[in-house]
Amino acid sequence: MRVAGKSLIQRTVERASAIPGVSQCAVVTNAGYLHQLKDELASLSAARVSLLLEPRPRNTAPAIAVAALWVAANFGDDELMLVLPADHLIEREDEFAQAAVAAGEVARTTGQLVLFGITPTHAETGFGYIEWGEPIGDTRAHRVKRFIEKPSSEVAAKMVHSGSFAWNSGMFCFTAGALIQGLRRFAPKVLAVAESAVATATAREDGLLFDEASFSAFEDISIDYALMERADNTAVIPCDLGWSDVGSWKAVSEIYAADHAGNVVDGRAVFVNSSGTYVSSEQRLVAAVGLENVMIVDTPDALLVCHKSASQHVRDVVKSLEESGDTVHKLHTTVHRPWGSYTTLFETTGFKVKRITVKPSQALSLQYHCHRAEHWVVVKGEALIEVDGTPLRARAGEAHQIPMGATHRLTNVGESDVEFIEVQLGDYLGEDDIVRLADNYGRVS
């Protein structure tokens, strides 16, 4: 998602890069997001970024473990690591930078695993809490007494009132060596799999691509359960950052200003006899009639309707889809590729319509299809199209037919994006009906 024109990953990388002494960032993410992520990062003036690409998601403990091993191998065991989830918003970034510097000093001098504790503003039941104890010297940090995961509203209210609890933000600071030692002591299986995954990873110019077989051996476990709640060298720095965990749509709805009835809209919406309702719609107009404390999120991929009090259970939808074998949560309407992207506009039996964007100086692979013909209409830019060896110039408003079985490719020869509409016709329209003969990105089998 984007807030004020920038994606959350862009904001996170920029936030980290602004901390004094930071010159290197690493992003741990699914390999399927590679091309989209590179596009996002290309526009930033930030620290150097390396990519650690997972073949499948395996929660935060595996992600942080492989990152720590990568840091130790490239920069040494004493190198500080600042771990930041990419789905956070922070209003007071100067205060965040100060807290990060303070956390780094504690981590480097004491070997503590330092957590960032957010001063709670209300009795939130969807977050974990940290109770802090005695201060560590004259630093801002306190020793952690205990963790409490998602309490009841009554318990949460008492903890907030006590003044000695903070929300667990999921942000951490430690040296790579301290994290590895902690895993070796409290989560040796996680560390062993991480060592195997790093050893078998494919080195890339921009980072690492982990092997499917090695990475699949990881247990799906968070760093809190694997290590933080077991370790005896954890510290917390309480801080007030204007922090928001936008991992839930309820949190997203709180970013925007509400109208007099408490309704919030991101996009186009009409509210009638509704209050406390959030609507996010990228394309269509949404009418909300007679609703109270409801969330409606309309995207090209799916439609979500839920009560605000149930927003934490949206993740159960993904779990249900996985259990049923449905892949709608993985196959998005817009897909990024090394040459650009495509968006599926319409699909039914026998034909599919796409809008395809090719970046300057980039090209599709030389390919053919066994089950479909294609009709291309260029709507923007200038391209060179090759069909069965014949080169053709293509400009906005021109159409070209690609018969079934014909070899073809498109190259952007202009200085701006090329956009064209592709209509596929055939008895099978799957993305695997592509036979590549030549490719600039190494995708020929």
Select, from the ranges 37-41, 53-57, 88-92, 278-282, the one with the highest average predicted confidence (pLDDT).
53-57
Q: Given this model, what pLDDT does residue 224 score?
A: 94
Mean pLDDT of 110-138: 91
The first and second tokens of residue 151, run together, are: 């309490």
Question: What residues does each domain of the chain span?
Answer: 2-245, 249-322, 334-438
pLDDT in tens, 340-375: 999 999 999 999 999 999 999 999 999 999 999 999
| CB distance 381 to 392 below 8 Å | no
What topology is assigned to 2-245 in CATH? Spore Coat Polysaccharide Biosynthesis Protein SpsA; Chain A (3.90.550)
Q: Given this model, what pLDDT does residue 332 score?
A: 73
Determine the Cα–Cα distance for residues 347 and 349; give it in Å rounded to an integer: 7
Q: Given this model, what pLDDT does residue 326 score?
A: 60
Select, from the ranges 19-23, 123-127, 250-254, the one with the highest average predicted confidence (pLDDT).
19-23
Mean pLDDT of 371-383: 96
152, amino acid identity: S
**Is the pLDDT reported for residue 322 higher than 90?**
no
User: Cβ atoms within 10 A of the Cβ of 274, count?
Assistant: 20
Give the architecture-level CATH label for domain 334-438: Sandwich (2.60)
Question: Which parts of 317-381 are beta strand (E)?
Answer: 334-337, 340-348, 351-358, 366-368, 372-380
